[in-house]
Structure 1
Amino acid sequence: MSAAAGTAAGVAAKEAARADKAMVSIQYLRAIAALMVVLLHLGVQWQRLGYQGAWPGWLAGGVDVFFVISGFIMWTTTAARPTTPTDFYVRRIVRIVPLYWLLTVLTVTIMLVAPQAVQSSRYDGWHTVASFLFLPSVNAGTGQIEPVVIPGWTLNYEMFFYLLFGLTLRWREGWRLAASALALGAPVLWQAWTGKAGGIWLFYTSDIVLEFVLGMALGCAYAHGRLNPGRAAGWCLLAGGGVALAVCGGLGMSRLLTMGLPAAAILAGALALERARAVPQWPWLQRLGDASYSLYLLHPMVLSATVQLWRRGGWVNGLGAQLAYSALALAAVIVAALICYRGLEQPLTRILSRRLRPVTRTRPAGP
């Protein structure tokens, strides 16, 4: 290896290692994305309180921000620390599965013991099994392809992405990106060309999966020092992506175009500000970003519980009551998420990571 190539490789490793340490801007975006999804689902509770007006559907773009971030993080962390597929899979399982399974068990238990307390799901044997296995299955309560813990439909996509991405880890960087893009994109192109996909297969052919590719491409550019447009451009990308998401997010067109690309612009802007050291210090938002996974998974349960208690209290409906309920519900969601993160998610991840460390021995990736 030449001196120049060695220097470039060193720079790439250092830049990727920064991403592995959960950059502040990434944590901010995780918090904001999770809150967007919470606010989206708050609209359902407003309807249960008598509201019949419109609700901003573009808030669903929080999921797209998560997907782009996921592609970015998977790329940069594996570039910084060459790893085997087994190591990668174990780390992802330790990070994703324990809390999700615990909340699935809790929800199924409530369905069986107190079904009247569950507003949007009904127990079904196969649906429950599929939920544990991260397989898409129709939720009898909603009629949608959603697991027992409804926000977990995104985890079905995440696990699909992890499965494909892990298989490429022994390849060189350029091949890895191309192979991942091809594996994710081929079903999407096939469905768009033939229009024959339906049912569960339609789930995997949604162009939302290409948002992982956008994140990987940003990760590759960032790791090699190619994403450095400056502070002004960073703010423009961040603001422009946010405006584009708000304007285009509810149009019902291609999700990749109307939500994925704006989400990628938002992440690119945040990374540019990170590189320029222009990210403000907001510890409270960073802590919420740390707890974003708990916030994302737990919020439907908390919203459902709070709206049922609110209705039983006999408070009068109307805008004032709905705003008061919203403040109470958001506070309850945030507090519950922070408690869940500190009391369950963080300890479980730490314990399982320690126990599985002898199994996950990192070795250099193959050519």
Structure 2
Amino acid sequence: MSNWLSAQPECQWFQLARRKDGLMDIFTIQYLRSMAAMRVVAVHLYPQLERMGYNGYWLQWLASGVDIFFVLSGFLMWVTTCNKKIGVWDFYRRRIVRIVPLYWVLTSVAVAVMLIAPQLLQSKSFDLLNVVSSYFFFMTPNPQGLVEPVLTVGWTLNYEMMFYVIFGIALLMPTTWRFATVTVVFLSMSMVGWFFVDTSAPSVLASYTSDIVLEFVLGMGIGVWFTRSDKRGSARLGWMLIIGGLSVIALLSVIAPPGTSRLLVQGVPAAAIVMGAILLDRFNVLPRVSWLHKLGDASYSIYLSHAFVLSALSQVWRKLHLDALPGGWVGFCVVGMLTSTVVGILVYHWLERPLIRFFKRPSKPLVPQLVNARSAAGL
């Protein structure tokens, strides 16, 4: 174990990842980010379809897009700090600049709509504690009893911020100890949830002790392996991991008993998918598809904004009685996916990027000469 975690003289993965311009550019990670965002949008079509009267089967396992995001986050945090002496506050500042501005803006939009025209949010009502907690990434129940922030999709950011806090503290330690520190903390929290917390109903304690946080550890583990000089792998293995991961997620969504750990049903297969994609990048198997790369850039904006788009589109769709037309539900799905994508890209160019530029002060890159804002998977 100690040998596996031992620090290398240099993170060999960065050498492999260099392109002609000398920058780290992980195309397959960008592809994964775009795919993960689209999967989440697809899952959130279903509540709107229910309001139109549809109550049939839906591909709920597409929610694994979130698990892919978590694994990617763990991987990227590891490889961009490996064997680097990073200031904790500088790390926190970078993470805050990357995550908070757009989230606060869209949360403020949701709060404003909640106060001015609550009927547009369909199921939301104002609660001061929940609103304040949403801005500061604390998990609290909303008026419906669900542990969700005002901007519902922000529940994932609560976990991201918790991961950043713990990972930042681990940066005070040598690289050799960072992985073990984060693992012990998250494993301890998860064990409390496994053995002492009733997870059959939503609660703040159940949320904080969810084993979903171990998906960050899985991503870090992939990073530890991939920054070693003696790693193994092949393009064939990459394809096997991706196909196997997708198949397992789909299969377990059908056969896994209710209440089965999300870590097992979606987290571990998501880690296989991420590892497979990284292997494909390492061996230059896939072509560089610029529009997929750009979609990956915009994935955070798509993720945060699509709930507004689908809610508004659903109400227009029903008001025009388009849901009553033959194929109306299918049409809504197609238009919903396309509109969410276009709006997300616009939000990225007109809001997310300008906000990051505004709040980002010039500073020494975490990985000199290797990381740029677009290419390093959204860092």
Q: TM-score, normalised by structure 1?
A: 0.91
Matches within 5 A, 1:55-74: 55-74=58-77
- C-alpha separation between the residues in 1 aligned to 2:352 and 2:165? 23
**Structure-2 change in CA distance of 1:284 and 1:80 (3 Å):** farther
- C-alpha separation between the residues in 2 aligned to 1:202 and 1:138? 12
- C-alpha separation between the residues in 1 aligned to 2:231 and 2:251? 26
Matches within 5 A, 1:241-280: 241-249=245-253, 251=256, 252=258, 253-280=260-287
Encode CA deviations 1:100-120: one digit per residue, 9 max, x unaligned.
000011110011111111113
Identity of aligned residues (%): 41
In the TM superposition, residue 16 of structure 1 has moved relative to its aligned partner by 7.6
- C-alpha separation between the residues in 2 aligned to 1:57 and 1:286? 26
- C-alpha separation between the residues in 2 aligned to 1:159 and 1:20? 27
**Structure-2 change in CA distance of 1:255 and 1:226 (3 Å):** farther
Encode CA deviations 1:125-166: one digit per residue, 9 max, x unaligned.
1110000010011122x4311101100000000000000010
Matches within 5 A, 1:178-189: 178-189=180-191
Question: Do the aligned residues in 1 keep the contact of 2:7 with 2:175 (CA within 8 Å)?
Answer: no
Residue 314, structure 1, aligned to residue 321, structure 2: yes
**Structure-2 change in CA distance of 1:307 and 1:29 (3 Å):** same
2:86 aligned partner: 83
Matches within 5 A, 1:109-148: 109-140=112-143, 142-148=144-150
**Structure-2 change in CA distance of 1:318 and 1:246 (3 Å):** farther
Unaligned runs of 5+ in 1: none
Encode CA deviations 1:54-92: one digit per residue, 9 max, x unaligned.
212211111100000000001011116431111110000
Question: Do the aligned residues in 2 keep the contact of 1:87 with 1:361 (CA within 8 Å)?
Answer: no
Pick from 323, 331, 336 the counterpart of residue 330 of structure 2: 323
Matches within 5 A, 1:89-104: 89-104=92-107
**Structure-2 change in CA distance of 1:15 and 1:180 (3 Å):** farther
- Structure 1 segments of 4+ aligned residues over 6 angstroms from their partners: 16-20, 360-363
Equivalent position SS for 1:79: coil
AA aligned to 1:139 is N
**Structure-2 change in CA distance of 1:16 and 1:167 (3 Å):** farther
Equivalent position SS for 1:287: helix
AA aligned to 2:276 is G
- C-alpha separation between the residues in 2 aligned to 1:13 and 1:32? 24
**Structure-2 change in CA distance of 1:134 and 1:319 (3 Å):** farther
Count of residue pairs the alignment pairs up: 356
- C-alpha separation between the residues in 2 aligned to 1:316 and 1:85? 52
Question: Do the aligned residues in 2 keep the contact of 1:16 with 1:77 (CA within 8 Å)?
Answer: no
- C-alpha separation between the residues in 2 aligned to 1:261 and 1:96? 25
- C-alpha separation between the residues in 2 aligned to 1:344 and 1:33? 21
In the TM superposition, residue 6 of structure 1 has moved relative to its aligned partner by 11
Question: Do the aligned residues in 1 keep the contact of 2:74 with 2:215 (CA within 8 Å)?
Answer: yes
Question: Do the aligned residues in 2 keep the contact of 1:84 with 1:362 (CA within 8 Å)?
Answer: no
- C-alpha separation between the residues in 2 aligned to 1:64 and 1:166? 21
- C-alpha separation between the residues in 1 aligned to 2:116 and 2:158? 27
Pick from 329, 340, 355 the counterpart of residue 348 of structure 1: 355
Question: Do the aligned residues in 2 keep the contact of 1:214 with 1:264 (CA within 8 Å)?
Answer: yes
In the TM superposition, residue 9 of structure 1 has moved relative to its aligned partner by 2.1
- C-alpha separation between the residues in 1 aligned to 2:115 and 2:103? 18
2:51 aligned partner: 48
**Structure-2 change in CA distance of 1:314 and 1:42 (3 Å):** same
Matches within 5 A, 1:196-275: 199-249=203-253, 251=256, 252=258, 253-275=260-282
AA aligned to 1:145 is V
Unaligned runs of 5+ in 2: 1-5, 368-379
In the TM superposition, residue 362 of structure 1 has moved relative to its aligned partner by 6.9
1:14 aligned partner: 15
Question: Do the aligned residues in 1 keep the contact of 2:212 with 2:262 (CA within 8 Å)?
Answer: yes
RMSD between aligned residues: 2.5
Q: TM-score, normalised by structure 2?
A: 0.88
